[in-house]
Amino acid sequence: MTKSADTHCPYCALQCAMTLKSPAELTPATEPGSVPVPAAPAPDLPLLEVSGRDFPTNRGGLCRKGWTSATLLNHPGRVTEPLLKGADGIHRPIGWDQALALVTTAVKDTRAKYGADAVGVFGGGGLTNEKAYQLGKFARLALGTSRIDYNGRFCMSSAAAAGMRAFGVDRGLPFPLEDLDSASTILMLGSNVAETMPPFVQHLKGARDAGGLIIVDPRRSATAAFTSDGGGLHLQPLPGTDLTLLLGLSHVVIHEGLADQDFIDQRTSGYQAVVRSVNSFWPERVQSLTGVPAELIRETARRLADGARKGGSYILTGRGVEQHVDGTDTATAAINLSLLLGLPGSRRSGYGTLTGQGNGQGGREHGQKADQLPGYRKITDPAARAHVAGVWGVPEELIPGPGLPAVQLLKSLGKPDGVRCLFVHASNIAVASPDANSVIAGLRSLDFLVVCDFFMSETAAEADLILPVLQWAEEEGTLTNLEGRVLRRRRALQPPAGARSELWIMARLAEALEAPSTYSEDPETVFEELRLASAGGLADYSGIDYAMLDRGEAAYWPYPAGSTGTPRLFLDAFAHSDGKAVMTAVTPRRRRTPAANPDAAAKTMTLITGRLLEHYQSGAQTRRVSELLASQPEAKMQIHPAAAADMGITAGSLVSVANERGEVVCRAELSTAIRPETVFLPFHFPELESANRLTEAATDPISGMPEFKFNKVWVRLAANQLDQPQNSVLQTTEAS
């Protein structure tokens, strides 16, 4: 049965509000006095109708992904029973009892042969708070392993690390999104919200109309183009030079007397070191390093300072400046700039970073990260360990220490002293991970791979065992959006008979493994335990419960019991012991020298990757929505016409994009929106179109973030210009 439910979109962290309803059509009555009943939807029609709901983030609007989200609920490719891979490579149905017994045996055998850390868990930023919390507990107590991390390491880790060292706490936006509406100046670096979360754009309109919207992006993205109507600015730096640009902006603020000296003196530390670190980054030098004209650098700094004095200035960062080996330092430089201007902690100005995944914020707060316990507690902190052990009812020494961040975890797959048995939840690592060819090889070298999914993703196709789980409209729970606001997900649809919640799976496996503590399949019961575990932590949810969320009350963490929550952080103090924000001097880091180009016919270019309007993450869901796939059916390499002409590339040509890690073959799209020495690939596609075949698994030393946004590639016309089959992997896996 279906029912009406007020819920939130399953995709990005904007978490647009929507209402799900049964289709309105009724079958005609067949007998006198009979009651018409809802018609069964045709196989190619959604089970539920989607309508936008008024809410502060989206105000009734949805993007194409949101409008079509219900299409997947009755998709013919849905996995609805456990599937075991045979010796012939074909997955065949088995019963749940057999599936759970196989997993239990694999875990016990692995631990007996190699130790508990040979069992690994890879989670996801799309899991509800309840599932993310119980997954961390399940890994550490039921499996006994420290080897757990999640795909948020690829998304928010640099911004999180920068926020922690500057402010003492990491919440993407430390203010409600609606605060942006009244801003006169907004500097946005490395985010294309017009395509990644379109309803966000309405919150930029005030600054755009005031001529104060400033976008930093190597491409003239849809968001950058939004500046043109209102006299805003687009700064188009060379890829990988955002840190240098930010140091140049700080140089202008300091040396032109634009800094808020009272704020700096009263509410920050580290100012003098930052002054020394930016002295050598005067605008003309920064122009020579970034390609951004010196006058635009000066104008940007002056507009930010003027906005801070008169009508509110905000600095926002996204993955474009954070997915680098110096991503933490780049986000730190953006924070330093905001502190120089006195933006954080103001009611009319601020700094924030834009969370990407649906529960990217909540997913990193409650125990999926290798170094964290619930409530954003450090796993190495004795007091934190004691608190969580008390909630779990176990001796503190039973909780393992820190594990490996995602890239290192994936590099260890199949190694003699690495992970031999892996659980994957809510992540398609075969497509989404850097150096994807190596990751796939690692998956194939495992003794046992268990994937929980509702589709045969590219990662699920590699699994020994696939466990079918619930989709978003079939479950209850909570998520935390990009503002740090906790939201209710509500069930509108009964799941297929063979699908199970991850909470149920963890509870049954914990029982079979004779694990200490308790594990519930009821989301509200798990949330009640999460409240206790988070109490007193940085991300304190102890004052939040389902009843208040069901009443529609706003719940911004930290929300200690007895409080009214914290919509705006830092108004009185930052989260360090002295109440001050810490300014940290940073400088650009030298990158590894890439391999020499071995192909005389190919030109060396810089590859950047990103999203398309129609697709989300690895595309495992959106590539199954016919409307979205028809609009963007294949990966295309965006290249400047001048660069393309040098190589004989025309629009629609098949091109080879390669480096020492792999090769992508796709069609060329010519555009003056991109810099001439740069090419762009979307990362939503698999196999020969997978951009992450080319990205490097080098990581930021602080955050563990991979180098997604700066990779050298060799570009040339593909030898074979015949039409390539589109989405062949998707079709093959569904057919199997």
Say yes or no: 232 and 312 in one domain: yes
CATH code of 333's domain: 3.40.228.10
First to last CA, the chain: 29
Q: Cα separation of 156 and 711, whole Å?
A: 20
- Find out whether the peptide bond into 558 is cis, omega within 30 degrees of 0: yes
Instruction: Report the pLDDT value the prediction gives residue 228, as an integer from 0 to 100.
Output: 82
Check pLDDT > 80 for residue 466: yes
Say yes or no: 88 and 63 in one domain: no
Check pLDDT > 70 for residue 38: no
CATH code of 19's domain: 2.20.25.90
Q: Cα separation of 657 and 643, whole Å?
A: 14
Instruction: Report the pLDDT value the prediction gives residue 34, as an integer from 0 to 100.
Output: 33
If you count them, how many residues does the chain have? 736
Check pLDDT > 90 for residue 194: yes
C-alpha to C-alpha distances, 103 to 100, 108, 139, 608, nearest whole angstrom: 5, 9, 14, 39
Instruction: Report the pLDDT value the prediction gives residue 540, as an integer from 0 to 100.
Output: 98
pTM score: 0.94
Reference 437, options 635, 697, 668; nearest CA is: 697
Residue 556 within any structural domain of the chain: no
Let me know: does 48 contact 40? Beta carbons within 8 Å: no
Say yes or no: 238 and 332 in one domain: yes
What is the pLDDT averaged over residues 204-216? 96
What percent of the chain lies above the pLDDT cut of 90?
91
Residue 546 within any structural domain of the chain: no
pLDDT tens digits, one per residue of 643-677: 999 999 999 999 999 999 999 999 999 999 999 99
Instruction: Report the pLDDT value the prediction gives residue 330, as an integer from 0 to 100.
Output: 98
Say yes or no: 123 and 254 in one domain: no
Let me know: does 474 contact 164? Beta carbons within 8 Å: no
Return the ∠ at Cα 113 (arms to 109 and 115), rounded to 5°: 100
Say yes or no: 667 and 709 in one domain: yes
Question: End of a domain among 354, 388, 410?
Answer: 354
Give just the sign of the alpha carbon dihedral 531, 11, 174, 56: negative
Residue 137 within any structural domain of the chain: yes
Say yes or no: 291 and 415 in one domain: no
Instruction: Report the pLDDT value the prediction gives residue 35, as an integer from 0 to 100.
Output: 36
Average pLDDT of every residue of the chain: 94
Structure tokens at 133: 């919390």
Say yes or no: 137 and 278 in one domain: no
Structure tokens at 19: 């209402």
Say yes or no: 506 and 369 in one domain: yes
Say yes or no: 225 and 333 in one domain: yes
Residue 538 within any structural domain of the chain: no
Instruction: Report the pLDDT value the prediction gives residue 723, as an integer from 0 to 100.
Output: 62
Say yes or no: 190 and 319 in one domain: yes
For residue 31, the number of C-alpha atoms closer than 13 Å in the C-beta half-sphere is: 1
Q: Cα separation of 616 and 614, whole Å?
A: 7
Residue 164 within any structural domain of the chain: no
Say yes or no: 324 and 398 in one domain: no
pLDDT tens digits, one per residue of 246-295: 999 999 999 999 999 999 999 999 999 999 999 999 999 999 999 999 99
Residue 140 within any structural domain of the chain: yes
Q: Which amino acid is at 385?
A: R
Structure tokens at 570: 């830092």
Number of domains in the chain: 4
Backbone angles phi, psi at 467, to 5 degrees: -110, 120
Burial tier of 550 (Cβ tally within 10 Å: 0-12, 13-18, 19+):
exposed
Instruction: Report the pLDDT value the prediction gives residue 45, as an integer from 0 to 100.
Output: 62
Question: End of a domain among 521, 538, 566?
Answer: 521
Residue 532 within any structural domain of the chain: no
Check pLDDT > 60 for residue 322: yes
pLDDT tens digits, one per residue of 137-182: 999 999 999 999 999 999 989 999 999 999 999 999 999 999 999 9
Instruction: Report the pLDDT value the prediction gives residue 44, as an integer from 0 to 100.
Output: 53
More reliable by pLDDT, 22 or 332? 332
pLDDT tens digits, one per residue of 94-106: 999 999 999 999 9
Give just the sign of the alpha carbon dihedral 25, 30, 33, 35: negative
Question: End of a domain among 22, 56, 74?
Answer: 74
CATH code of 690's domain: 2.40.40.20
Q: Cα separation of 683 and 617, whole Å?
A: 7
Say yes or no: 87 and 235 in one domain: no
Task: Enumerate residues 6+ apart whose C-beta is below 8 A from 394.
Answer: 141, 516, 517
Check pLDDT > 50 for residue 736: no
Residue 552 within any structural domain of the chain: no
Instruction: Report the pLDDT value the prediction gives residue 311, as an integer from 0 to 100.
Output: 80
Q: Which domain holds residue 67?
A: 1-74
Instruction: Report the pLDDT value the prediction gives residue 29, as an integer from 0 to 100.
Output: 35
